[in-house]
């Protein structure tokens, strides 16, 4: 490794700035340039070869790097007090993910609706706590029920997650509580999902952050903040108050464009705190006073692995259902999708669809086949064709695990914007069966064999009766299959 690169790496490791940070890049450039300029000075020698002899010692070399780092740390103090921004909006996601705890308070509004008398719908309070280190969170969810004698009714519920237990609190008329239990795998996955969930609420689509512009400045708690703004082109606008000195997000808003053409606030996160200790009882699993629990943590209903995509299609009587269960991306742009297609009245006949399927071969001809994917950003290319990897079975349900390989260069933003599922009917559909649009997004990108074993095989084991993944399925086999498919479709 070249000397300059060694020192750069030492500074990176010492300062813990996220990759791509404007402050870190500026810091490295100036410090390294100053260091190289100083190396060009020829001091008066104190004796023959004394400089070379000193620098040959390990202690002197370490001290030299430490001195450069010390200059860098002092430079941080200087630059943080300057008027020029130390952080850009694109630094926000990585800085956000470094927080140990996150506390968000604010209000949820309903600009598109009014009460029967024409007045505004009362806003709903937001008070969300996330403890990333201990995989705990407490957050509110809000819905709107239109119609009835009251015209519009706000429905508020809460979810408390602490380790293997979830408590769902209905703050509506029922004032009820129900408990769910999750597996160790789901707990680990939840840790990775927490920051992604909250960050999506605060600054929307990460891929659009680079399109944000500064529209003003404001001081919050004594800190000067740049106000960044981005529009999604579909009637939603995100605004973030970002401290140019610390990089922390101090406030966030989501706005909607109403029929009058005016922009109105839909969500206002007026308080955002980091690394603060949650008050005692924040993650308590005790029902609130006056609420009735339908079960207990000891009799909690087990949750099957489902990352929110299941149930994409169904018939009017819910006798037939299909949807995705979990999605991962590979570093080459290919996608691994676990999905199901089941007719509940005759579930045992599913087995016949998996007879003779082989690794890397065609997908099983289920009632509704997820035969391909396309980018969900509006482009029809490239086409991700599906190939069979394996199947698992749990409680009478079969789950298909497929690899989707693009026939061209995948869009850079595809993992964030997601993929639209292309379906084909292989058998006569039940009455009332309807096909809607289903979009799936990867949890994250699998880059190593260890990650493949932990997350992909772990998911397969979750959806298997014996709790073990299919035999002889390895990361290298899947990577080789993707490469073979790419080679075969290359002109």
180-190, pLDDT tens digit by residue?
Answer: 999 999 988 88
CA 437 to chain centre: 21
In the structure, what pLDDT confidence band is assigned to residue 379 with cuts at 50, 70 and 90?
confident
Report residue 156 as tokens.
């508020």
The chain-wide mean pLDDT, for the chain, equals: 76
pLDDT at 381: 86
272-331, pLDDT tens digit by residue?
Answer: 888 899 999 999 999 999 999 999 999 999 988 875 544 444 544 545 677 889 999 999
Please return the burial class of 49, using the count of CB atoms within 10 Å of its CB with bins 0-12, 13-18 and 19+.
exposed
pLDDT at 248: 81
Q: What is the mean pLDDT of residues 434-452?
A: 86
Q: What is the mean pLDDT of residues 85-91?
A: 59
| Gap between the Cα atoms of 455 and 133, Å rounded | 19
Q: Which residue has the higher pLDDT, 85 or 211?
A: 211
**Backbone phi, then psi, for 57, in 5-degree steps?**
-80, 145
Percent of the chain with pLDDT over 70: 69
pLDDT at 46: 33
Q: What is the mean pLDDT of residues 242-247?
A: 82
33-50, pLDDT tens digit by residue?
Answer: 433 433 333 333 333 333
- Cβ proximity of 430 and 320 under 8 Å: yes
Q: Which residues of 417-443 are buried (b: 16+ CB within 10 A; e: fewer)?
A: bbbbbbbeebeeeeeebeeeebebbbb
342-366, pLDDT tens digit by residue?
Answer: 776 666 678 888 999 999 999 999 8
Strands of 432-490, DSSP E: 439-440, 445-446
Q: Which of 106-110, 252-256, 412-416, 439-443 has the lowest mean pLDDT?
A: 412-416
Is pLDDT at 404 greater than 50 in this prediction?
A: yes
Three-point CA angle 206, 207, 213, nearest 5°: 85
Q: What is the mean pLDDT of residues 94-111?
A: 83
Is pLDDT at 88 greater than 80 in this prediction?
A: no
In the structure, what pLDDT confidence band is assigned to residue 491 with cuts at 50, 70 and 90?
low
Is pLDDT at 10 greater than 60 in this prediction?
A: no
Q: Which of 60-64, 146-150, 157-161 has the lowest mean pLDDT?
A: 60-64
- Cβ proximity of 102 and 272 under 8 Å: yes
pLDDT at 401: 98
Is pLDDT at 136 greater than 50 in this prediction?
A: yes
Is pLDDT at 98 greater than 70 in this prediction?
A: yes
| Gap between the Cα atoms of 233 and 433, Å rounded | 33
Is pLDDT at 398 greater than 70 in this prediction?
A: yes
Q: Which of 100-104, 165-169, 197-201, 249-253 has the lowest mean pLDDT?
A: 197-201
| Gap between the Cα atoms of 250 and 222, Å rounded | 11
| Gap between the Cα atoms of 372 and 404, Å rounded | 7
pLDDT at 29: 42
Q: What is the mean pLDDT of residues 117-142?
A: 86
Q: Which residue has the higher pLDDT, 62 or 173?
A: 173
Q: For tokens 């000067």, name the residue.
A: 224
Cβ partners under 8 Å of residue 49, min gap 6: none
| Gap between the Cα atoms of 459 and 462, Å rounded | 5
pLDDT at 431: 52
pLDDT at 54: 28
């Amino acid at each position: 490794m070249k000397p300059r690169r060694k020192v750069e790496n030492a500074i990176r490791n010492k300062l813990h700035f996220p990759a791509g940070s404007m402050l870190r890049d500026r810091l490295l450039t100036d410090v390294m340039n100053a260091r190289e300029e100083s190396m060009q000075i020829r001091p008066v020698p104190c004796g023959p070869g004394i400089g070379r002899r000193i620098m040959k010692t390990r202690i002197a070399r370490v001290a030299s790097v430490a001195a450069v780092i010390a200059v860098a740390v002092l430079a941080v103090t200087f630059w943080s007090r300057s008027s020029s921004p130390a952080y850009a909006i694109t630094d926000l996601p990585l800085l956000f993910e470094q927080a140990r705890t996150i506390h968000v308070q604010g209000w949820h509004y309903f600009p598109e609706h009014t009460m029967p008398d024409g007045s505004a719908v009362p806003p709903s309070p937001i008070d969300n706590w996330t403890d990333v280190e201990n995989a705990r969170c407490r957050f509110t969810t809000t819905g709107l029920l239109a119609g009835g004698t009251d015209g519009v009714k706000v429905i508020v519920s809460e979810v408390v997650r602490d380790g293997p237990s979830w408590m769902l609190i209905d703050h509506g008329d029922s004032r009820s509580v129900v408990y769910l239990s999750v597996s160790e795998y789901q707990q680990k996955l939840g840790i990775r999902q927490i920051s992604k969930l909250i960050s999506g609420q605060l600054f929307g689509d990460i891929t659009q952050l680079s399109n944000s512009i500064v529209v003003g400045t404001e001081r919050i708690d004594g800190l000067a903040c740049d106000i960044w703004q981005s529009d999604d082109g579909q009637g939603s606008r995100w605004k973030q108050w970002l401290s140019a000195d610390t990089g922390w997000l101090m406030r966030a808003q989501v706005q909607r464009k109403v029929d009058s053409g005016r922009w109105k606030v839909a969500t206002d996160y007026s308080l955002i705190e980091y690394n603060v200790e949650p008050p005692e009882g924040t993650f308590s699993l005790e029902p609130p006073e006056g609420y009735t629990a339908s079960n207990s943590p000891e009799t909690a209903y087990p949750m099957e692995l489902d990352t929110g995509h299941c149930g994409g299609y169904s018939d009017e009587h819910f006798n037939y259902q299909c949807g995705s269960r979990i999605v991962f991306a590979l570093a080459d742009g290919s996608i691994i999708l676990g999905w199901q297609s089941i007719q509940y009245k005759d579930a045992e006949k599913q087995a016949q669809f998996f007879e003779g399927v082989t690794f890397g071969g065609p997908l099983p001809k289920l009632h509704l086949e997820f035969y391909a994917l396309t980018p969900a950003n509006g482009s029809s290319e490239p086409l991700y064709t599906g190939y069979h990897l394996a199947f698992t079975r749990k409680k009478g349900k079969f789950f298909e695990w497929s690899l989707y390989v693009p026939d061209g260069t995948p869009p850079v933003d595809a993992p964030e914007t997601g993929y639209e599922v292309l379906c084909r009917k292989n058998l006569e559909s039940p009455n009332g069966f309807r096909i809607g649009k289903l979009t799936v997004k990867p949890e994250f990108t699998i880059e190593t064999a260890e990650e493949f074993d932990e997350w992909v095989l772990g998911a397969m084991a979750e959806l298997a009766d014996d709790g073990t993944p299919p035999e002889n399925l390895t990361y290298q086999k899947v990577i080789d299959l993707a490469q073979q498919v790419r080679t075969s479709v290359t002109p």
